[in-house]
Amino acid sequence: MANLWPRNPTGAETEIRRRVAADGPLTFADFMGLALYAADGGFYTSGSPFGAGGDFYTAPLTHPAFGALVARHARELWRGAGSPERWWLIEAGAGGGQLSRDVLAASDGSFAQALRYVAIDPSARAADAAVAWVRSGALPVRGLHGLVLANELLDALPVHRVTIADGVLREIRVGVDGDGRFEDVLTAPTLGLAERLAGLDVRLGQGHRAEVCLAVDDWFADAGHGMEAGYVLLIDYGHEAEAYYEASRGRGTLRTYYQHLLGMDPYTHVGSQDISVHVEWTSVRRAAIAAGFSFAGTTTQAAFLRGLGFDALRTAMAARRDVPAPVRVANLRALDMLVDPEGMGKFNVMAFAKGVPDAGVMGLGEGTGAFEGPAPLATAAHMPFGGAATVPMVMPTWDELSR
């Protein structure tokens, strides 16, 4: 195993080891929070984790059509709310800011005049005069009228890990062995873990390992306190509780990404690799309702984008003759990734409403009209190009993610 001490640890790993030495084994939620978000050497707060030169990529980095369709959705929600003079779009976990740039580029007319875009991220590295950047891992907003958008954020919320040992629920904490390696340490469960599983009617079998995200309750509590009227739109991969905790996922859903390589060991490259888990949607929905939201619906990313006019946009791209054929083909390949039923297209989209109509929120209907203007072209900032139209794209399949 890796992670021998001493070597060249990140600041996040150094802080984790200091806390273990001072206080004993950490909950995995504390370990994950430091590994990802520590001010000194956390994965998301140091370096550039996104894109071809990073460790993974997301839908906004695949093609600007994603941002253009999200802009269309935000515009329709604005209209449904009565077209107020000011409409806030709060992007939680904004990363490098690509989605904000694409949404703003696709917004025009009275909607663009009303739109106020705020990007919230623990790093807040990007700079754009049209976007207000806030360095935070929470939602520090109040009196909000608008939309909170979280694309692949919930999968990075810190989680606790549990298992069944000798027929008893135990929490898997993180300690350090005599050789300096991180190790699993079984302890009594943190308050709330047994209650969460019991509330979901989950009964794990002997040796079953699983994740429990208690942090989603606080995230939605923040959203509920901050929003006066509007919507929350979540895009991520996951399962309802019954499927999430079924025996076939007895090793849990935790995955790591290091330089685009999929792994399962969170104790290597601490602070330098992504750690994520699938989202357990049943608890997300309950947390939202407890925070004062109504459930507005759920669908897949493929159906969501198609309901916003994806197919018309793709047809417009295929018909473009103002760009070389290899560029057009590369763009079509990138577009197809967004709705791939074995990849991003299978991601879940879930919406909630507060103080506004919750009917018809999840889409505008299959084949929504022609896309206004020419279909947007990917740039070097979008990963499928990587600076050249012929660069192949590589992504783990949905089956790999689900195992």
Q: Give the tens place of pLDDT for each residue, 302-339.
A: 999 999 999 999 999 999 999 999 999 999 999 999 99
Give residue 55's pLDDT: 43
Q: How far is CA 265 from CA 57, 197, 241, 258, 356, in A?
A: 20, 24, 24, 11, 43
Global pTM?
0.90
Which pair of structure tokens corresponds to residue 128?
Answer: 């754009």
Give residue 32's pLDDT: 98
pLDDT tens digits along 330-364: 999 999 999 999 999 999 999 999 999 888 787 65
Strand pairing of 144-151 and 131-135? unpaired
Could you tell me which residues come within 8 angstroms of residue 247 by beta carbon, excluding any fewer than 6 positions away?
Answer: 205, 208
Residue 208 reports pLDDT greater than 80: yes
Residue 128 reports pLDDT greater than 80: no
Residue 397 lies in a domain: no
pLDDT tens digits along 39-92: 999 998 876 555 444 445 789 999 999 999 999 999 999 999 999 999 999 999
Residue 403 lies in a domain: no
Domain encompassing residue 189? 11-301+341-364
pLDDT tens digits along 389-398: 433 333 334 4
Q: How far is CA 63 from CA 101, 108, 258, in A?
A: 12, 19, 22
Residue 34 reports pLDDT greater than 80: yes
Give residue 127's pLDDT: 63
Give residue 361's pLDDT: 84
Q: Is 191 in contact with 162 (CB distance < 8 Å)?
A: no
pLDDT band, very low/low/confident/very high, at 374 (cuts 50, 70, 90) = confident
Q: Which of 136-140, 161-165, 206-210, 396-400 has the lowest mean pLDDT?
A: 396-400
Residue 293 lies in a domain: yes
Residue tagged 């990313």 (tokens): 301
Residue 4 reports pLDDT greater than 60: no
Cα 87 to the chain's mean position, in Å?
Answer: 23
Helices (H) then strands (E): counts for the chain: 14, 17
pLDDT tens digits along 209-239: 999 999 999 999 999 999 999 999 999 999 9
pLDDT tens digits along 236-259: 999 999 999 999 999 999 999 887
Residue 25 lies in a domain: yes
Mean pLDDT score of the chain: 88
Which pair of structure tokens corresponds to residue 348?
Answer: 């879940």
Smallest CA-to-CA distance from 364 within 290, 311, 293, 286 is with: 311
Residue 4 lies in a domain: no
Q: Mean pLDDT throughout 12-30?
A: 97
- CATH number of the domain residue 71 falls in: 3.40.50.12710
Residue 30 reports pLDDT greater than 60: yes
Look at the alpha carbons of 383, 280, 284, 338 in this order and tell me if their dihedral is positive or negative. positive
Give residue 359's pLDDT: 82
Number of domains observed in the structure of the chain: 1
Strand partners, 256: 263, 275
Residue 375 lies in a domain: no
Residue 212 lies in a domain: yes
pLDDT band, very low/low/confident/very high, at 367 (cuts 50, 70, 90) = very low
Residue 186 reports pLDDT greater than 80: yes
Q: What angle do CA 112, 50, 395 make, to 5 degrees?
A: 110
Residue 314 lies in a domain: no
